[in-house]
């Protein structure tokens, strides 16, 4: 049994993690962390106390979790990572939008505690990334376009997953990203268009199109429920439990078969 804390417990994804964990027999959520909290409780479960970020060290000391699942904002994640390193607690984070200096701090923190950063905890996205390379190799010279769609409350754009997809493209060809288009803007030979939509309560959609004048190949992923990401984040936290300090990603979890 892996004991967990959830940072951002009252948010969309944090709440999904708490709910998903209740249905599993291999984990237990001991506490949540959220801004403005003061010994409140997550959802209707009286067994999950809620702490403010300022009380993180107290929460870690009191509950001694095996790992923390984090869906918050970059500043909160960086601070949490330091506290986890001091308390020898693993951290699985789905937060995106980090600045370069924040990533540098997290990379250093990964030397002291198991730290997993994932732009997307979906197994389907991992399959998309693995399918993309062979497609690019088989279709040299084809135009590449990327479209991503998320709910209207998402703050960073493009999504962290979109950037991960662009990194995968960059492993197979040189390209110049173009973020949206306006006016007279003819497509260049090495261009990859990156288009962003924000609307409603869409959980997450990513679509890669490869096209020439005669055919179109589309590789797409759509998440119908946040529980998809919550389950992946919990899998990552369980996988981290007992690992050596280091900086990991969700591909490590999938590559190891979740073991």
Report pLDDT digits (tens) over 22-43. 999 999 999 999 987 654 555 4
Q: What is the dihedral of CA 88, 17, 254, 75, to 10 degrees?
A: -50
Query: Mean pLDDT over residues 9-20, rounded?
Result: 91
Place 135 in a pLDDT band, splitting at 50, 70 and 90: very high
Provide the pLDDT for residue 44: 43
Provide the pLDDT for residue 246: 96
Predicted structure pTM score: 0.82
Give me the chain's average pLDDT, please. Answer: 92
Contact yes or no for 119/160 (Cβ under 8 A) = yes
Exactly one of 63, 151, 154, 172 is catalytic; name it: 154
The hierarchical CATH code for the domain 123-222 is 3.30.360.10
Question: Any idea where the domains of the chain sit in the sequence?
Answer: 2-121+226-255, 123-222
The answer to whether 154 is a known catalytic residue is yes
The answer to whether 206 is a known catalytic residue is no
Provide the pLDDT for residue 259: 52
Question: Does the structure show a pLDDT above 60 at 121?
Answer: yes
CA angle 130, 132, 138 (to 5 degrees): 120
Q: What is the dihedral of CA 64, 69, 71, 74, to 10 degrees?
A: 70
- Select from 1.10.3720.10, 3.40.50.970, 3.40.50.720, 3.40.309.10 the CATH code of 2-121+226-255: 3.40.50.720
Provide the pLDDT for residue 43: 47
Query: Mean pLDDT over residues 138-167, rounded?
Result: 94
Exactly one of 150, 151, 206, 221 is catalytic; name it: 150
Gap between the Cα atoms of 205 and 228, Å rounded = 13
Place 183 in a pLDDT band, splitting at 50, 70 and 90: very high
């Amino acid at each position: 049994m892996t004991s967990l804390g959830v940072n951002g417990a009252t948010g969309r994804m944090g709440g999904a993690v708490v709910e998903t964990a209740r249905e599993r027999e291999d984990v237990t959520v001991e506490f949540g962390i959220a801004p403005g909290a003061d010994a409140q409780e997550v959802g209707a479960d009286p067994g999950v106390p809620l702490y403010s970020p300022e009380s993180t060290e107290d929460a870690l000391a009191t509950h001694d979790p095996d790992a923390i699942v984090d869906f918050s904002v970059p500043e909160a994640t960086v601070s949490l990572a330091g506290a986890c390193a001091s308390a020898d607690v693993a951290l699985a984070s789905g937060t995106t939008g980090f600045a370069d200096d924040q990533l540098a701090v997290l990379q250093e923190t990964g030397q002291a505690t198991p730290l997993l950063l994932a732009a997307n905890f979906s197994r389907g996205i991992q399959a998309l990334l693995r399918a993309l390379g062979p497609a690019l190799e088989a279709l040299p010279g084809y135009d590449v376009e990327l479209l991503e769609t998320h709910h209207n409350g998402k703050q960073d754009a493009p999504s962290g997953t979109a950037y991960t997809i662009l990194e995968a493209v960059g492993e197979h060809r040189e390209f110049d990203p173009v973020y949206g288009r306006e006016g007279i803007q003819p497509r260049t030979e090495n261009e990859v268009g990156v288009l962003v939509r924000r609307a409603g309560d869409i959980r997450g959609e990513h679509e890669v199109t490869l096209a020439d004048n005669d055919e179109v190949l589309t590789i797409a992923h759509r998440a119908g429920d946040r529980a998809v990401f919550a389950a992946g984040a919990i899998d990552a936290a369980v996988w981290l439990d007992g690992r050596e300090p280091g900086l990991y990603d969700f591909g490590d979890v999938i590559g190891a078969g979740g073991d």
